[in-house]
Amino acid sequence: METSNVMKQNQHYNLNSTPQLATIQKSFSHIQKAVEEHKAKFNSEDVFSIVDYGCSHGANSFVAVQAIIQALTQKYGPTIENQMSVIYNDLPQNDWSALFQVVSQSSVTSLASGKSFYQQILPSNSVQFGYTSTANHWLSKKPCNLREHCFAFGGKSSAEELKLWSTQAAEDYRLFLQHRSNELKKGAVLVCVNLSRIDVNDTGILPIFHNLYRSAITVLDEDELLNYNIQEYFRSLEEQTDPSLLKELSFELICADLHLLENPIYQDYYQKNIN
């Protein structure tokens, strides 16, 4: 099914992504834990590759990468920065100019990879530290139209629709992990910070999706409304930590947990600070 994703350029995401930043800040302790568990070998002549999968326009990504660099220098010493190469990955249509305006302030080498993370983007056995935050809930394609809502977990999806979306999400997640498994060196680490859900419909931000759909009803015709689907799937913790899948793809789970994260934008809306 053909779909397209368009994001405004000129720093739009950087200026309107406080919930995503809050998610990254919640991950700092997990970054520290991952660095403690990092065991991949390297010498003084090796490139130490750090990758952010799904970097968007860079402002939030830069915060995460700086936390990773700080934790690694604390463990291995400041000279490791001379070996670091940070690869910022996102789709070809990403606003790369905005990203490099942000990351140019870094003292380490910065590179870009304009390719879907549902593909292998770097050579096998080359990555020391992988990171992704609020990115792979976006599916590679839309499995079917949702007839009664714009969001799969909006409470209106049929059993058949949910099955198709969950199957697509499982296939995408497997692909994501398979390619990261290929890219990571033995003993390297991957930190995944994903939007999730507690049960079948509880994603924590349903009012936002309900408001989007109610607004869409007022401006879209019947065909447009049928095709108005947000191509996201919030995986449960169980879907993300399936032991058999992780073992098959040569991953060892260090830790996994859920956090309830308040959405600052929705809180402002609820308190009538914005409308």
pLDDT in tens, 24-60: 999 999 999 999 999 999 999 999 999 999 999 988 9
User: Distance between CA atoms of 105 and 128, rounded to whole angstroms?
Assistant: 22
User: In the structure, what pLDDT confidence band is assigned to residue 260 with cuts at 50, 70 and 90?
Assistant: confident
Task: Enumerate the domain spans of the chain.
Answer: 12-144+173-196+235-270
Which of these, 117, 115, 177, 169, lies nearest to 143 by C-alpha position? 169
For residue 9, pLDDT over 70 is answered with no
How many Å apart are CA 222 and CA 217, to the nearest integer? 9
Residue 7 pLDDT greater than 50, yes or no: no
Whose CA is closest to 99, among 179, 159, 11? 11
The pLDDT of residue 2 is 41
Note the pLDDT of residue 17. 52
- Res 240: pLDDT: 97
Query: What mean pLDDT comes out for the span 119-129?
Result: 98
CATH for 12-144+173-196+235-270 is 3.40.50.150
For residue 89, give both structure tokens. 């990955």
The pTM is what?
0.89
| pLDDT tens column, 225-248 | 999 999 999 999 999 999 999 999
